[in-house]
Structure 1
Amino acid sequence: MVTKNSLILANLLVLLSTPLLAQTPAAAPVNSNETKPAANAEQKPAEAKTSSEGGSEQKSPENPLAAESNLSDKKKSGKTTKEPMQLGKKNADAPKPMERSEAIKRANAFFNSSPVMTADFVQIGGDGKRSEGKLYVQRAGRVRFEYAQPATMEVVADGVQVAVRDRKLATQDLYFISQTPLKFLMKEKIDLEKDVTVQDVATDDSGITIFIEDKATFGGTSHVRLIFDPKTFKLKQWQVKDPQGYETLISLFNIDQTKTPDAELFKISK
């Protein structure tokens, strides 16, 4: 069974695409508690573990399996809605193939273009469950995922740590951002060609997809798909497959790169 915390952590972390602290040691703990590897990692992620009396315990993040589906925008009554669409499907209106170098150049330009972003997000988890919420981003590395009800979780990154909170249970777990498979998007200036191995660039109805491999991830090699709108080249989806083989798919809608989020949104209570 996939845990709530592992499902949410997988969600976090392309939006650390705003610059973050450069590569901190992956295994260094936040507090005196020793980081323990997940049990039975080859079969399923370990159950999230919280400390007693509402405290926090440092752990390495896990990423769950996500459906091999895609989501597309549909304008209705002036508001963006989300509908499933099939990955890889092609038709006469499909965007023209883009050269590898041009796709990487435009992806870098997007990631480095703005220090702020707000967006609505949709998450498809390993159990097929769909969750929605609001995303706030501000460099360097500050991110907040607010899940809509009935979910009780929220994720906050303050530039150094990631906190996964359960509002109902009043618990908080801490993780190192540098342990995530998307840490290459945390640098002051992002250059995909230099920071990771770009395996391929593909074009279909879902957009321009950049396939990335990161062998420096805590626990092994991770694979990431970054999916961009072919017209605006804004990031609209990402999918992460972690070293245990778990995947998660996140889609972004109603992206706004002009609003500066309130700094209070990114504070983590110790």
Structure 2
Amino acid sequence: MKPFRTLMASAVAVTLLALPAMAEKIPLSEISRYLNSLTTAQSDFTQINPDGTVSTGELMIHRPGRVRFEYAKPDASVVMAGGGQVAVFDAKSNQPPEQYPLSRTPLSIILAENVNLGRARMVVGHQEVDNTTHVVAQDPAHPDYGTIDMVFTANPTELRQWIITDGAGAKTTVILGEMRKGVRLPSSLFSITLEQQSRGR
């Protein structure tokens, strides 16, 4: 029986060697380093809304604390964060923008001055899925604000998309195009007051 056992062991070893290597998930420390290294970035984006409709546009990030979503025509709406507030400028409305604190959205995790995904109770999911690393994070003090599921690829580490689930369970997916880093983005792009003035609201 010994030769049979040896043969079986060899067959198992060959089979294991033939299997594709499982990709390892990117460590949280590396993802924190990557996010902290982002100062300015610009990218096209595709957004899948909670009702299944799809929007496109251009995204501009100016860390810490600033982001601007410019939606493509015919929409021409803008969602922006600056000065600790998020403002939603609806192109179809003549009313002032809807505003709420940036801290109440999980997107604030990416825009924080110091991203530390190692904080207790911040990360509630961290796994490898189809050669991408998914990190699900929340505000440890306010899990009721919702979560952000960030999707990264490795070598080099790159943010590819995120899915925000709000406190009511509605999901909004943002898929990024090629991200251009270190671009010049004037502070005026993130001024809610200037945007209001330019729109006459």
TM-score, scaled to structure 2: 0.77
Question: Which of 80, 94, 113 is the aligned partner of 1:170?
Answer: 94
Question: Which of 173, 176, 184 is the aligned partner of 1:260?
Answer: 184
Q: Does 1:97 align with 2:24?
A: yes
Offset of residue 94 of structure 1:
7.9
Matches within 5 A, 1:1-270: 96-98=23-25, 103-171=27-95, 172-194=97-119, 196-205=121-130, 207-217=132-142, 220=144, 222-269=146-193
- By relative contact order (CA 8 Å, sep 6+), the higher-ranking structure is 1
> Amino acid of the residue matched to residue 62 of structure 2?
Q
Instruction: Give 3-state SS (helix, strand or coil) of 1:254's partner.
Output: coil
1:199–1:178 distance in 2 versus 1, CA, 3 Å: closer
1:195–1:153 distance in 2 versus 1, CA, 3 Å: farther
> Amino acid of the residue matched to residue 217 of structure 1?
H
1:200–1:161 distance in 2 versus 1, CA, 3 Å: closer
Identity of aligned residues (%): 30
Instruction: Give 3-state SS (helix, strand or coil) of 2:87's partner.
Output: strand
Offset of residue 212 of structure 1:
2.5
2 CA distance for matches of 1:187 and 1:164?
A: 20
2 CA distance for matches of 1:130 and 1:214?
A: 27
1 CA distance for matches of 2:176 and 2:156?
A: 14
Q: Report the number of matched residues.
A: 175
> Amino acid of the residue matched to residue 126 of structure 2?
V
2 CA distance for matches of 1:263 and 1:197?
A: 30
Q: Which has the higher helix share?
A: 2
> Amino acid of the residue matched to residue 161 of structure 2?
Q
1:147–1:200 distance in 2 versus 1, CA, 3 Å: same
1:107–1:163 distance in 2 versus 1, CA, 3 Å: same
1:127–1:170 distance in 2 versus 1, CA, 3 Å: same
TM-align CA RMSD: 2.3
For residues 151-201 of structure 1, the C-alpha deviation after alignment (integer angstroms, 9 at most, x for no partner) is 231112113211111234333111111111333334321111116432332
Q: State the match for 1:30 in structure 2.
A: none
**Is residue 104–residue 145 contact of structure 2 (8 Å, CA) maintained in 1?**
no
2 CA distance for matches of 1:140 and 1:122?
A: 23
**Is residue 135–residue 144 contact of structure 1 (8 Å, CA) maintained in 2?**
yes
1:223–1:166 distance in 2 versus 1, CA, 3 Å: closer
1:137–1:186 distance in 2 versus 1, CA, 3 Å: closer
Instruction: Give 3-state SS (helix, strand or coil) of 2:118's partner.
Output: helix
Q: State the match for 1:54 in structure 2.
A: none
Instruction: Give 3-state SS (helix, strand or coil) of 2:27's partner.
Output: helix
> Amino acid of the residue matched to residue 119 of structure 2?
K
2 CA distance for matches of 1:205 and 1:195?
A: 27
Offset of residue 215 of structure 1:
4.6
1 CA distance for matches of 2:172 and 2:20?
A: 28
1:122–1:195 distance in 2 versus 1, CA, 3 Å: farther
Larger Rg: 2
- Name stretches of at least 5 consecutive residues in structure 1 with no aligned partner: 1-91
1:183–1:196 distance in 2 versus 1, CA, 3 Å: farther
1:169–1:242 distance in 2 versus 1, CA, 3 Å: closer
Offset of residue 126 of structure 1:
1.3
**Is residue 237–residue 251 contact of structure 1 (8 Å, CA) maintained in 2?**
yes
2 CA distance for matches of 1:185 and 1:217?
A: 16
